[in-house]
């Protein structure tokens, strides 16, 4: 498997200038290659409009990374006479990024790439040359730049490299969250799914229901409180953003340059956002690591987070909880540890279904925090009931409703005289349980 190790850097002033130069070279090459591709396509469009035959038109330009890089090497002395100041990998990175962007457009996954401005994300990728860990566990090596001190220790990766169980494939230099980082793509051995031993021979299964009031509710009964880092920082953020609004900021239309006081105030806002993001990520890392280390099977929901944040009343709370980041971390950590991760169907009614008898409610308001079953009389916390239903999907003795849902059948409950009847199958011969007695549909008396 390929896994990334991200480290924050503490560069000197000269090294930081070299970082900007390499990232700028990557952006320059990207824009140059994109201009060549667009000029070729526009020329062919014009020739087609003039009625020129296909055989006589300008040949298609190859958009592969190899071809774009080969063309760049032929003209770089004329286009960029300063190219020797940076590593050749910075120019190769620009060609590779454009080739990937055009490939995504060709496959229908993205639109036509646009030119990058100086305000775009700064990054540069190295695949060849002298890069990797430095002389100790507080330095890394980058081509043409040399050794750069890291803000944190690299011992976790260094131990694997020294033991021969990891091989660094590439390094990506990037500026994010207000500081420079380097990310190493590391090749690791595949996880052994049988390496995880269950305690006492019984698989340890847990269902996880994420929420806003509580960040996560486990089927074991444990509840992880939602720290709400953004809410705690909103007061300072409002004050800092009011200061920014009173300063002279940039204006593209008039060409106004931001003042130094605006830059300092904007830096304060960026640091506050960075701190909130770091706190949120740290809490999610602790939670996901705990789940992977304590359980053999984890069951979660397939939540449409992108659609849920369209609710203007809940968008900020959902984004602050970090549900998408929670699933991302849990996915790759489960793969690395050999833990089974089960993702319930998006339409599975985990909150509306009774974890005791399997009956399902037609409606359940978001304000109802306690689940009360009208069939068996079960009274349970809403989130705990959903977590128990998720845990049942992992296998074992489950109700008929849960078995059908795990098999991919969407169940639509109907209410008939207080009985919950699953109508996902033909009504002929369907049976259900009412007050402890099994009835057929035709024999049921309202």
Q: What is the pLDDT of residues 239-280, one digit of tens each?
A: 999 999 999 999 988 989 999 999 999 999 999 999 999 999
Q: Within a domain: residue 127? A: yes
Give the pLDDT of residue 413.
Answer: 35
Do 267 and 291 reside in the same domain of the chain?
Answer: yes
Contact 223, 210 (CB under 8 A): no
Q: How far apart are CA 408 and CA 402, in angstroms?
A: 10
d(CA 44, CA 335): 47
Residues 154 and 248 in one domain: no
Catalytic residue among 296, 320, 383, 420: 383
Residue 17 lies in a domain: yes
Q: Is this prediction's pTM over 0.85?
A: no
- The catalytically annotated residue of 89, 296, 301, 420 is 301
Cα(421)–Cα(442) distance, integer angstroms: 13
Residue 384 lies in a domain: no
Per-residue pLDDT tens over the stretch 364-394: 888 888 888 888 888 888 889 889 999 988 8
| pLDDT at residue 21, rounded to an integer | 96
Q: Is residue 328 part of a domain?
A: yes
Q: Where are the alpha helices (DSSP H) in 112-196?
A: 155-163
Q: Do residues 158 and 231 both lie within one domain?
A: no
pLDDT in tens, 164-223: 999 999 999 999 888 999 999 999 887 665 444 444 556 789 999 999 989 999 998 899
Per-residue CA distances from 330 to 234, 320, 339 (Å): 28, 17, 10
> 121 and 9 share a domain?
yes
Under 8 Å between Cβ of 401 and 360: yes
Least confident of 47-51, 244-248, 318-322, 368-372: 368-372
Residues 136 and 206 grouped into a single domain: no
Domain presence at residue 397: no
Least confident of 53-57, 182-186, 317-321, 396-400: 396-400
301 belongs to the catalytic site: yes
Active site residue 209: yes
| Window from 10-19, 119-128, 225-234, 393-402 with minimum mean pLDDT | 393-402
Domain count, the chain: 2
Mean pLDDT across 53-64? 93
Clarify whether residues 127 and 237 are in a common domain. Answer: no
Give a yes or no: residue 230 inside a domain. Answer: yes
d(CA 305, CA 312): 13
Same domain as 234, residue 143 = no
φ, ψ dihedrals at 371, nearest 5°? -90, 125
* The pLDDT of residue 347: 85
Q: Does residue 161 share a domain with residue 142? A: yes
Q: Under DSSP, is residue 81 helix (H, G, I), strand (E, B) or coil?
A: coil
Question: Are both 51 and 134 inside the same structural domain?
Answer: yes
User: Average model confidence (pLDDT) for the chain?
Assistant: 85
Which of 151, 169, 187 is at the close of a domain?
A: 187
Give the pLDDT score at 399. Answer: 38
Same-domain check for residues 146 and 288: no
| Residue 175 domain boundaries | 2-187
Q: Are 375 and 415 in contact (CB under 8 A)?
A: no
Answer with the one of 124, 152, 187 that is the final residue of a domain: 187
Q: Say what percent of the chain tops pLDDT 90.
A: 63
**Which residue, 160, 187, 214, sits at the end of a domain?**
187
The single residue of 209, 296, 320, 420 carrying the catalytic annotation is 209
Largest CA distance in the chain: 89
Q: 272 lies in a domain?
A: yes
For 408-438, write each residue's pLDDT tens digit: 333 333 333 233 333 333 333 333 333 333 3
Asked if 181 and 199 sit in the same domain, the reply is no
| Residue 118 in domain | yes
Whether 274 and 328 share a structural domain: yes
Percent of the chain with pLDDT over 70: 86
């Amino acid at each position: 498997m390929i896994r990334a190790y991200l480290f924050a850097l503490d560069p000197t002033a000269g090294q930081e200038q070299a970082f900007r130069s390499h990232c700028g070279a990557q952006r320059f090459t990207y824009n140059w290659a994109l201009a060549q591709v667009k000029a070729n396509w526009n020329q062919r469009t014009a020739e087609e409009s003039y009625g020129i035959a296909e055989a006589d038109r300008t040949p298609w330009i190859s958009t592969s990374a190899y071809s774009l890089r080969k063309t760049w090497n032929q003209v770089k002395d004329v286009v960029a006479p300063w190219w020797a100041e940076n590593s050749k990998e910075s120019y190769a990175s620009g060609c590779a990024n454009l080739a990937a962007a055009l490939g995504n457009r060709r496959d229908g996954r993205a639109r036509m790439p646009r030119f990058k401005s100086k305000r775009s994300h700064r990054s540069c990728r190295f695949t060849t040359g002298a890069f990797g860990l430095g002389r100790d566990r507080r330095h890394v090596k980058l081509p043409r730049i040399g050794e750069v001190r890291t803000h944190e220790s690299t011992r976790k990766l260094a131990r694997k490299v020294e033991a021969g169980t990891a091989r660094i494939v590439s390094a990506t230099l990037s500026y994010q969250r207000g500081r420079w980082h380097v990310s190493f793509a590391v090749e690791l051995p595949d996880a052994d799914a049988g390496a995880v031993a269950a305690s006492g021979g019984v698989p340890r299964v847990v269902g996880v229901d994420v929420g806003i009031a509580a960040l996560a509710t486990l089927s074991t009964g444990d509840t992880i409180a939602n720290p709400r880092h953004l809410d705690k920082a909103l007061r300072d953020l409002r004050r800092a953003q009011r200061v920014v609004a009173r300063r002279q900021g940039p204006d593209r239309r008039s060409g106004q340059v931001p003042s130094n006081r605006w830059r300092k105030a904007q830096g304060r806002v960026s640091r506050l956002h960075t701190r909130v993001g770091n706190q949120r990520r740290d809490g999610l890392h602790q939670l996901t690591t705990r789940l992977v280390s304590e359980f053999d099977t984890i069951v979660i929901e397939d939540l449409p987070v992108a659609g849920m944040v369209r609710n203007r009343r809940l968008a900020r709370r959902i984004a602050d909880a970090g549900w998408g980041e929670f699933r991302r971390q849990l996915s790759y950590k489960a793969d690395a540890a050999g833990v089974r991760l089960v993702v319930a169907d998006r339409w599975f009614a985990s909150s509306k279904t009774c974890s005791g008898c399997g009956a399902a409610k037609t409606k359940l308001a978001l304000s109802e925090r306690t689940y009360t079953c009208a069939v068996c009389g079960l009274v349970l916390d809403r989130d705990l009931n959903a977590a128990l239903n998720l845990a049942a999907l992992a296998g074992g003795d489950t109700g008929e409703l849960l078995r059908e849902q795990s098999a991919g059948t969407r169940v639509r409950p109907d209410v008939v005289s207080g009985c919950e009847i699953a109508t996902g199958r033909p009504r002929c011969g369907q049976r259900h349980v009412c007050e402890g007695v099994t009835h057929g549909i035709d024999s049921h008396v309202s």
